Amino acid sequence: MDETVAARLSALDEAFARFRACAAALPSGRFLERINGWSPRDVTAHFIGWNRYTADGCREILRGVCPSYLVDEPNDFSHVNRKSVERYTSSDRDALLEELDASFDDLKTFLLALPAPQWDRDFGVRFKGHVITVENNVEGLRMDYDRHRETIEAWGKEAGR
Protein backbone atom coordinates (compact mmCIF):
# COMPACT_ATOMS: atom_id res chain seq x y z
CA MET A 1 0.00 0.00 0.00
CA ASP A 2 1.17 3.51 -0.82
CA GLU A 3 2.63 5.23 2.27
CA THR A 4 0.52 8.36 1.80
CA VAL A 5 -2.70 6.36 1.53
CA ALA A 6 -1.67 4.28 4.55
CA ALA A 7 -1.11 7.47 6.56
CA ARG A 8 -4.52 8.85 5.51
CA LEU A 9 -6.24 5.61 6.48
CA SER A 10 -4.35 5.47 9.77
CA ALA A 11 -5.46 9.02 10.62
CA LEU A 12 -9.07 8.10 9.81
CA ASP A 13 -8.81 4.93 11.92
CA GLU A 14 -7.47 6.91 14.86
CA ALA A 15 -10.18 9.58 14.64
CA PHE A 16 -12.86 6.88 14.41
CA ALA A 17 -11.41 4.98 17.39
CA ARG A 18 -11.24 8.15 19.51
CA PHE A 19 -14.85 9.04 18.71
CA ARG A 20 -16.06 5.50 19.32
CA ALA A 21 -14.27 5.27 22.67
CA CYS A 22 -15.71 8.64 23.70
CA ALA A 23 -19.26 7.56 22.80
CA ALA A 24 -18.85 4.15 24.43
CA ALA A 25 -17.58 5.69 27.68
CA LEU A 26 -20.61 7.92 28.20
CA PRO A 27 -23.15 6.80 30.77
CA SER A 28 -26.26 5.60 28.91
CA GLY A 29 -28.34 8.57 30.07
CA ARG A 30 -25.72 11.02 28.84
CA PHE A 31 -25.61 9.26 25.48
CA LEU A 32 -29.21 10.38 24.93
CA GLU A 33 -28.85 13.89 26.39
CA ARG A 34 -28.81 16.79 23.93
CA ILE A 35 -25.79 19.03 23.40
CA ASN A 36 -26.42 22.03 21.16
CA GLY A 37 -29.46 20.30 19.65
CA TRP A 38 -27.85 16.88 19.10
CA SER A 39 -27.27 14.04 21.52
CA PRO A 40 -24.20 11.80 21.27
CA ARG A 41 -26.72 9.21 20.01
CA ASP A 42 -27.64 11.56 17.17
CA VAL A 43 -23.97 12.17 16.37
CA THR A 44 -23.37 8.43 16.24
CA ALA A 45 -26.30 8.01 13.83
CA HIS A 46 -24.88 10.92 11.82
CA PHE A 47 -21.58 9.04 11.46
CA ILE A 48 -23.24 5.79 10.42
CA GLY A 49 -24.76 7.78 7.59
CA TRP A 50 -21.58 9.67 6.74
CA ASN A 51 -19.49 6.50 6.59
CA ARG A 52 -21.91 5.33 3.91
CA TYR A 53 -22.22 8.72 2.21
CA THR A 54 -18.43 8.97 2.04
CA ALA A 55 -18.09 5.59 0.31
CA ASP A 56 -20.92 6.39 -2.10
CA GLY A 57 -19.51 9.87 -2.74
CA CYS A 58 -16.09 8.43 -3.51
CA ARG A 59 -17.67 6.00 -5.98
CA GLU A 60 -19.41 8.94 -7.66
CA ILE A 61 -16.15 10.90 -7.82
CA LEU A 62 -14.42 7.96 -9.49
CA ARG A 63 -17.22 7.94 -12.10
CA GLY A 64 -16.59 11.66 -12.69
CA VAL A 65 -19.77 12.80 -10.91
CA CYS A 66 -20.12 15.14 -7.94
CA PRO A 67 -21.18 13.33 -4.77
CA SER A 68 -24.97 13.48 -4.54
CA TYR A 69 -24.89 14.77 -0.96
CA LEU A 70 -23.34 18.03 -2.17
CA VAL A 71 -26.78 19.29 -3.21
CA ASP A 72 -27.34 19.80 0.54
CA GLU A 73 -24.12 21.80 1.01
CA PRO A 74 -25.97 25.17 1.01
CA ASN A 75 -27.97 23.86 4.01
CA ASP A 76 -24.80 22.81 5.87
CA PHE A 77 -25.87 19.22 5.10
CA SER A 78 -28.80 19.53 7.50
CA HIS A 79 -31.14 17.42 5.32
CA VAL A 80 -28.55 14.68 4.83
CA ASN A 81 -27.75 14.67 8.55
CA ARG A 82 -31.41 14.58 9.52
CA LYS A 83 -31.96 11.56 7.26
CA SER A 84 -29.23 9.65 9.10
CA VAL A 85 -30.57 10.58 12.53
CA GLU A 86 -34.05 9.48 11.44
CA ARG A 87 -32.87 6.30 9.73
CA TYR A 88 -30.70 4.97 12.55
CA THR A 89 -33.21 5.37 15.36
CA SER A 90 -31.99 3.01 18.05
CA SER A 91 -31.48 4.55 21.46
CA ASP A 92 -29.46 1.49 22.53
CA ARG A 93 -25.85 2.66 22.59
CA ASP A 94 -24.36 -0.79 22.02
CA ALA A 95 -26.62 -1.51 19.04
CA LEU A 96 -25.82 1.87 17.50
CA LEU A 97 -22.09 1.38 18.05
CA GLU A 98 -22.31 -2.01 16.34
CA GLU A 99 -23.95 -0.33 13.35
CA LEU A 100 -21.26 2.37 13.45
CA ASP A 101 -18.57 -0.32 13.41
CA ALA A 102 -20.23 -2.09 10.48
CA SER A 103 -20.56 1.10 8.44
CA PHE A 104 -16.94 2.03 9.16
CA ASP A 105 -15.73 -1.45 8.24
CA ASP A 106 -17.60 -1.19 4.92
CA LEU A 107 -16.00 2.18 4.23
CA LYS A 108 -12.53 0.89 5.10
CA THR A 109 -12.97 -2.19 2.90
CA PHE A 110 -13.88 0.08 -0.02
CA LEU A 111 -10.99 2.48 0.62
CA LEU A 112 -8.42 -0.29 1.02
CA ALA A 113 -9.35 -1.64 -2.41
CA LEU A 114 -8.68 1.68 -4.16
CA PRO A 115 -5.39 2.05 -6.01
CA ALA A 116 -3.39 4.98 -4.61
CA PRO A 117 -3.69 7.13 -7.76
CA GLN A 118 -7.47 7.18 -7.40
CA TRP A 119 -7.14 9.19 -4.19
CA ASP A 120 -5.53 12.08 -6.03
CA ARG A 121 -6.55 15.20 -7.87
CA ASP A 122 -6.58 13.49 -11.29
CA PHE A 123 -9.73 11.64 -10.24
CA GLY A 124 -11.43 14.69 -8.71
CA VAL A 125 -14.57 16.51 -9.79
CA ARG A 126 -15.14 20.25 -9.70
CA PHE A 127 -17.67 21.76 -7.33
CA LYS A 128 -17.99 25.50 -6.70
CA GLY A 129 -14.41 26.15 -7.77
CA HIS A 130 -12.94 23.30 -5.70
CA VAL A 131 -11.73 19.87 -6.71
CA ILE A 132 -13.49 17.15 -4.72
CA THR A 133 -11.37 13.99 -4.39
CA VAL A 134 -11.38 10.74 -2.48
CA GLU A 135 -8.57 12.21 -0.39
CA ASN A 136 -10.44 15.33 0.72
CA ASN A 137 -13.67 13.36 1.24
CA VAL A 138 -11.85 11.05 3.66
CA GLU A 139 -10.07 13.97 5.31
CA GLY A 140 -13.39 15.77 5.80
CA LEU A 141 -14.83 12.71 7.54
CA ARG A 142 -11.73 12.41 9.75
CA MET A 143 -12.01 16.04 10.78
CA ASP A 144 -15.72 15.62 11.51
CA TYR A 145 -15.01 12.64 13.79
CA ASP A 146 -12.49 14.72 15.73
CA ARG A 147 -14.68 17.83 15.87
CA HIS A 148 -17.71 15.98 17.24
CA ARG A 149 -15.59 14.02 19.73
CA GLU A 150 -14.04 17.24 21.01
CA THR A 151 -17.52 18.76 21.45
CA ILE A 152 -18.75 15.73 23.39
CA GLU A 153 -15.63 15.67 25.56
CA ALA A 154 -15.90 19.40 26.35
CA TRP A 155 -19.60 18.96 27.18
CA GLY A 156 -18.75 16.05 29.47
CA LYS A 157 -16.13 18.10 31.31
CA GLU A 158 -18.50 21.05 31.65
CA ALA A 159 -21.30 18.83 32.93
CA GLY A 160 -18.94 17.26 35.45
CA ARG A 161 -18.15 20.59 37.12
pLDDT 10s per residue in the chain (161 long)?
A: 688 889 999 999 999 999 999 999 998 889 999 988 899 999 999 999 999 999 999 999 999 999 999 999 999 999 999 999 999 999 999 999 999 999 999 999 999 999 999 998 778 999 999 999 999 999 999 999 999 999 999 987 776 54
Q: Looking at residue 2, what is its pLDDT? A: 81
Helix ranges (DSSP H) in 26-133: 28-31, 40-62, 78-87, 93-113
Q: What's this model's pTM, rounded to 2 decimal places?
A: 0.94
Q: Is 128 exposed, middle or buried (0-12, 13-18, 19+ CB in 10 A)?
A: exposed
Q: Looking at residue 82, what is its pLDDT? A: 95
39 CB neighbour count, 10 Å cutoff: 19
Instruction: Name the pairing type of β-strands 130-132 and 125-127.
Output: antiparallel
- Domain 3-156 superfamily per CATH: dinb family like domain (1.20.120.450)
Q: Looking at residue 5, what is its pLDDT? A: 87
